[in-house]
A = this chain, B = another copy of it.
């Protein structure tokens, strides 16, 4: 903590310096991941709206836009407020709106931010319309379309879309369009399944938008996306914008799906060896679930990576070494069962990297990133993360 207090000479610090555990971010990999999706979508006449919930950092968000600003999706109003403070003006709050949050939505719009909300019920539309009328500010909303039964939304042919649209457009708010998210794509394991999930997501959103337009609504926005479908989609006819978040850092769940390689993972926790239990085949580190999160997303995949793969500070993986166990401030490193690998010699004080099951969850456990570039251990910057709601 103290090693990076403001005013210290950061140029001299490396990943060997900050007290462990801490969150490390490889900026070179972030840049590569951002470029990959941008190039992937370049042939399509759509805009990209990166989801900032993974990084929760204005510095990372500006990397999406070569140092400038552009459209963002966020998962909390705290993120929206932080990005607004940094100059972002086109923000989608992509969680179904609670009426009690509309004051903060209006405040952001008063500041000049085109803050768009999400909803899937007439009750929410009534609340949004009432707040719009009371403030004299039309709040724009997307209707959430459920394409695969994973969370909120209404089905593409649900007639309630028309009532919601009528309440918004007739009540002082604004129907901006529709949104779908292929939650199913996180459980796809072949290119074919991913392409099908992407097409299903597109079809659901486009169908819903067409129904609204046939009823006389403008509904200009058709927003779809998830990291797996954005990276595999082949047809974007009728879509106006693509959202994706996780791809900026990637993680072991995404590698398990096959949309990235382990070498693409930009985020890790760095921890220190504090003990050895050779009789159990364990090496203990000072990073537990407070540092990695309790997320065990790969437990449902064909290769269970425990709490994460283990690498050295330069990023080289130790063969079949995983963080197999975690308590609050202890991690237990062990060799993957049945692999035949042997426990590497990691003396007391050795620093190791833990690669995340789920980058969004690992990030949430921390307040800041120690930023470096590729194999260089030099800490180039310290970036804060937005917390809370």
A-side interface residues toward B, CB under 8 Å? 1-2, 19-22, 53, 75-78, 95-101, 104, 120-121, 123-124, 127, 146, 149, 151-152, 183, 272-277, 280, 284, 286, 289-291, 293-296, 327-330, 332, 347-349, 360-361, 364-367, 387-389
A273: chain B residues within 8 A (beta carbon): 98
Distance between Cα atoms of A97 and B367 in the complex (Å): 23
14 interchain pairs (CB within 8 A)? Answer: A1-B78, A19-B101, A19-B104, A53-B328, A76-B329, A95-B286, A99-B348, A99-B349, A100-B272, A121-B275, A121-B276, A124-B274, A183-B327, A364-B365
**Which of B76, B97, B332 interacts with A151 by CB under 8 Å?**
B332
Secondary structure dominating the interface of A: loop
Minimum Cβ distance to chain B for residue A173 (Å)? 16
* A1, A21, A97: residue with the most chain B Cβ atoms closer than 10 Å: A1
The answer to whether A294 and B361 touch across the interface, beta carbons within 8 angstroms, is: yes
Q: Are A328 and B360 CB-contacts (below 8 A) given A20-B98, A388-B1?
A: yes
Enumerate the 3 nearest inter-chain pairs by beta-carbon distance, A residue then B residue, closest first: A294-B294, A96-B274, A123-B348
Distance between Cα atoms of A277 and B152 in the complex (Å): 7
Distance between Cα atoms of A68 and B152 in the complex (Å): 49
Q: Are A289 and B121 CB-contacts (below 8 A) given A100-B349, A274-B95, A367-B387?
A: no
Chain B residue nearest in CB terms to A293: B294
Chain B residue nearest in CB terms to A368: B388
The answer to whether A1 and B328 touch across the interface, beta carbons within 8 angstroms, is: no
* A22, A95, A146: residue with the most chain B Cβ atoms closer than 10 Å: A95
Chain B residue nearest in CB terms to A360: B328
A349: chain B residues within 8 A (beta carbon): 98-100, 127
A290: chain B residues within 8 A (beta carbon): 364
A330: chain B residues within 8 A (beta carbon): 95-96, 151-152
Chain B residue nearest in CB terms to A22: B389
Chain B residue nearest in CB terms to A101: B19
**Which of B98, B100, B275, B387 interacts with A96 by CB under 8 Å?**
B275
Q: Are A123 and B347 CB-contacts (below 8 A) given A151-B327, A332-B151, A389-B21?
A: yes
Distance between Cα atoms of A121 and B276 in the complex (Å): 8
Minimum Cβ distance to chain B for residue A276 (Å)? 7
The answer to whether B275 and A20 touch across the interface, beta carbons within 8 angstroms, is: no
